[in-house]
Amino acid sequence: PPEDIIFDPNVFAIATGIEEHDNYGVDFIEAVREISQALPHAKTSGGISNVSFSFRGNKPVREAIHTVFLYHAVKAGLAMGIVNAGQLAVYDEIDEDLREAVEDVVLNRRSDSTERLLALAQKYRDQDDTVSEEKEREWRGWPVEKRLEHALVKGIAEFVEEDTEEARLGAGRPLDVIEGPLMDGMNVVGDLFGSGRMFLPQVVKSARVMKKAVAHLIPFIEASQGEARKPNGTVVMATVKGDVHDIGKNIVGVVLQCNNFEVIDLGVMVPSAKILHTAREKGADVIGLSGLITPSLEEMVHNARELQREGFDIPLLIGGATTSQTHTAVKIAPGYEQPVIHVKDASRAVGVVQNLVSEGRKAGYAEQIAADYEEVRRKHAGRRSKTTITTLEKARANRTKIGWEGYNPPKPNVLGVRTFDDYALQDIRPYIDWTPFFHSWQLKGSHPKIFDDPEKGEEARKLFADAQGLLDRIMAEEWLTARAIFGLFPANALEDDSVEVYTDESRDEVLASLDFLRQQKQKPPGRPNRSLADFVAPKSTGLEDYIGLFAVTAGFGADEAARRFERDNDDYNAIMVKALADRLAEALAELMHRRVRTEFWGYAADEDLDSGALMREEYSGIRPAPGYPACPEHTEKRALWRLLDVEYNVGITLTESCAMSPGAAVSGYYFSHPDSSYFGVAEIGRDQATDYAERKGWTLEEAEKWLAPNLAYDPEAGQNSDGATEVPQAVSKSAG
């Protein structure tokens, strides 16, 4: 129907100083008018914030431009606009001189309108700080209920204890403060977040205010022996056995608490028996499982089967970086008769849980999920015959073509193992890639472009400022300890995709064998089936090549710092300190790789790359990590740990699932060949799984357990007579 059609004529910046841009405001307004008249049932929309882009940093002028532009666009028929509601003024309350100057620009009424507004804009920029400060304090004169709501929505913790106490003194019982103004405020937060008008960092700040207010009231509630506040439901959450990563889980927990759910967080590396026992003991309405590394996927399957065996009848939620709807539907859900639902991120969690605890909505919602997942399984099964896996023999014959003749492998300046204890954080800081930091807070975009995003830019700048402030404090008070270790060894590749590592330059004694996997998917002519072993000179060439190994961390002290914040009911900084530790660990990996290339191995001694080029990986060589697509099998970390004696030298340990602890850690290999590149192994056949088991000294069953995310076949099924396997696509790509 025409009512469902929305036209966006595009809003562009005005007053840019380029004459061709002067009429952009008028063009949009007139386009809206023509669309509204010619197509009266259709709707129009526009990204309003774009129009004021020339005046970034001048909040009063931007607000005036948005307001005036919207005023005229709405009169012309604009049905909807995308704009930060906090960056709008009331049309009639804009200073007359500013409003006139802005209208001149928006409507292009004068040839000198841009110059006149620029001259006036400086006056308002100078006034902005003073006016903003006055406005910020204005709310302190409001009634206490409104002050608490404002503090929650804005995440202002400065006055929460005194305002909560004032509200308590005026209430009939302490619980009334929670059930009244505090929950009213959190309901506003929930509505804003659910509608996309509030971002995750703001929600976590709101949770900090709520927790501080509740903490102030708890002694009075206990003293009055009053009835406890009834939550909307109880959720037991845990990072599964063998996995130590919890930032995403913690964020989901905070968001659920903001929506009046009781969250029992069991922490990390939690065995299924403890999860089930706690869920039964606490009368949980929902169980949530989280994990980052690929072995956690199999642990989640095990948990689902245990829930079925124990006769549970509550929903199971699945989340984490390596999880997916497909894996949940195909591998986890069939093991448990109750609803099993993949939750993509924190913004979806509240809606999912609310549906699952609502007596009126639960049955219909569960039926819809079951139908959706059945369709996912059907489509997955339909792809089974579409993927052809070539034999391992053919894949090896189609290995990466490297011109070893005439190639002289660079000899490292330093052979053996080097350790770095307490690496200076100020030296690591410049190497931080901030884009993943924003992603961890569910602010999608690249740094620094995200600062100019009309929707997320303001919150991104606030989050970045908070991160810089906390990072300054971390460094000044020495909260975190960073350590690094690397080793450079003589090495050569074998025909079976393994790399021999030698004790010394004589190459007489094999110190260890590193076992890599090879792409096995059928490739078009001219496209190789790659393995990381291709990038080390084969032993048969007689060339003396080398390989590097490394492990770094910036996580020592992160858990302790987070716990200090949690004791102060400050989830925002508890999550922040772990997110920063992760960024510092990745930055240290980048820094150490640069030093290896230019200094210790020295094959790129003349490298001169800025930070942008480093982030784009414009250097020679690679540093793939076990658990990531090019080498997806995690137990290879154990060989790395033995060769470098990582646990003894720098204190990083491996869990039974080969997750690194502290969680803010990175490990991997250094390859120097200029043709080395990243790729994904993806699906492999039974013949390669069997070959890998033989190389590792495993049973096939054990190999299939560790290779499960990459198996392109059902372990219970057989092969075709020619050895090639007609198989389904891999359920989930490997990630570290």
Catalytic center residues: 243, 245, 296
DSSP labels, 156-220: --TTHHHHHHHHHHHSSSHHHHIIIIIHHHHHHHHHHHHTTSS-HHHHHHHHHHHHHHHHHHHHH
For residue 2, whether the previous peptide bond is cis, meaning omega lies within 30 degrees of 0, is no
177 and 217 Cβ atoms separated by less than 8 Å? yes
**Residue whose entry in the numeric block shows the structure tokens 């590394």:** 293
User: Is 652:660 a contact under the CB 8 Å cutoff?
Assistant: yes
Residues 6+ apart with CB under 8 A from 481: 422, 554, 556, 557
The CA–CA distances, whole Å, from 236 to 279, 460, 569 equal 6, 31, 19
Identify any residues that bridge with 489 across adjacent strands, giving them in sequence order.
547
Tokens of 720: 């075709």
Residue that has been written with the tokens 């200073």 in this structure? 95
- How many Å apart are CA 664 and CA 413, to the nearest integer? 29
What is the token pair recorded at 337? 């008769």
> How far is C-alpha 692 from the chain's CA centre?
32
Angle between helices 457-476 and 200-224 (to 10 degrees): 70
**Could you give the CA distance from residue 405 to residue 543 in angstroms, rounded to a whole number?**
9
DSSP 378-400: HHHHHTTTTEEEPPHHHHHHT--
Cα separation, 110 vs 104, in Å, equals 6
Dist CA 217 CA 225 (whole Å): 12
Find, among 458, 465, 464, the residue nearest to 440 by Cα. Answer: 464
Is residue 725 within 8 Å of residue 713, measured between CB atoms? yes
245 touches 602 (CB < 8 A)? no
- φ, ψ of residue 92 to 5 degrees: the values are -75, -15
Which residue in this structure is represented by tokens 């070539």?
390
Is 201 in contact with 572 (CB distance < 8 Å)?
A: yes
**What are the start-end ranges of the H helices in 597-697?**
611-615, 636-644, 646-650, 686-696
β-pairing, 660-661 vs 653-654, is antiparallel
Q: Please name every residue paired with 726 in a beta bridge, in sequence order, or none if there are none.
A: 388
Rounded CA-CA distance 625/594 in Å is 16
